[in-house]
Amino acid sequence: MQLQNDLLLRAARGEKTERTPVWLMRQAGRILSEYRAVRESVSGFIELAQTPELASEVTIQPVDLLGVDAAIIFSDILVIPEAMGLPYEMVEKRGPWFPNTVASESDLKKLRIADGANDLSYVIKAIEITKKNLAGRVPLIGFAGAPWTIFAYMVEGSGSKTFSKAREMLYTQPIFSHKLLQMITDSTINYLKAQITAGADLVQIFDSWAGILGPKQYAEFSHQYISQICDAITEVPVTVFAKGAFFAREEMGKLNCETIGLDWNMGIDESRKLIGSEKTLQGNLDPAALYGNPDQVRQATIEMMKQFKGSRHIANLGHGVYPDIDPEMVKVFIQTVKEFK
């Protein structure tokens, strides 16, 4: 099906666009009262993500309500450990929690490499339904967590400020760590390929906890696995978003992907110099800028757009939109990007 709005795909590939495309990380979520209504109709986040019709409904909401140039499938990065045999729970106000963690070779033996299409059939079904219901209006983004970020949760068992258990393992059990990271990587490639077969037009890799590693650890235990995924995905454009990995921007420029996402701490000019002109940059307004009044939001957005001017760019925030931000301010951000000349 021909896309009516293919701005995102053209911008990712470095082709000419009439204007800069715009979408937001976590655009399908608590900022929208329509999302909250759907969420309240089920027992919680996991049930919503595992019900394809509902996941599709909340995926499309921001396209209708906010006017973004892309939909991103409503799911979670932690579906991969679950598909590998390590289930998790979503604890209200605390986040993800794993009743069991991975600490030894015997734990590793209980895991499998997920095949994507069958092990995560509910995400695949949600993508198929969403593609049908979008009817070519905008592209659909698929996604997965980066292997290091997934590893961090599987070893730590929950979110953490330091992920010290996971980081300890990189130092004390490097061979074991590489084995687990490779299993996650193989599962992720299978999963992303299944998403693409189902209709994802572009995929994004989220390395949410990239910034808690030092440069050497990052190169060995994260970057090389992201690189494997980028090399394997040849069917659609790939975006890599490694939050906090400012030290790895030059290496990111060499990845076999189209787009590099910048967080709001990464200087735009400096990033362009380090990453090079061959990549599209995505981002990177500080989400907190959307707490301002309409004039302040407009001004902050224009300042960001001026810095990206003349180079390959997809407008976004430097991280996910915060749940208590006024959707009207999100609309101001989107409209300002669309009107920017």
Question: Annotated binding residues, as ranges?
Answer: 26-30, 76, 153, 208, 319
Kindly report the length of the chain.
Answer: 341
The angle formed by the CA atoms of residues 161, 167 and 172, to the nearest 5 degrees, is 155
| Active-site residue flag, 201 | no
| Active-site residue flag, 298 | no
Q: Which of 13, 19, 30, 137 is catalytic?
A: 30
Q: What angle separates helix 327-339 from helix 294-308, to the nearest 10 degrees?
A: 40
Q: Which of 26, 167, 249, 272 is catalytic?
A: 26
Q: Compute the Cα dihedral for 74, 80, 85, 88 and give only its sign.
A: negative
Q: Which of 6, 10, 35, 39 is catalytic?
A: 39
Q: Which of 6, 35, 69, 76 is catalytic?
A: 76
Summarize the chain as % helix, strand, coil (round to 5). 50, 10, 40
Cis check: omega of the bond before 284, within 30 degrees of 0: yes
Which helix or strand (DSSP H or E) is residue 1 part of? none
Q: Is 163 left (phi over 0), alpha (psi -120 to 50) or beta?
A: left
| Active-site residue flag, 76 | yes
Q: Which of 88, 153, 191, 218 is catalytic?
A: 153
Which helix or strand (DSSP H or E) is residue 314 part of? strand 313-317
Cite the annotated binding site for substrate by residue number. 26-30, 76, 153, 208, 319
Q: How far apart are CA 39 and CA 101, in angstroms?
A: 28
The beta-strand segments (E) located in 187-296 are: 202-207, 238-242, 259-261, 280-285
| Active-site residue flag, 13 | no
| Active-site residue flag, 39 | yes
Question: Smallest Cα–Cα separation from 201: which of 19, 61, 69?
Answer: 69
**Catalytic residue positions?**
26, 30, 39, 76, 153
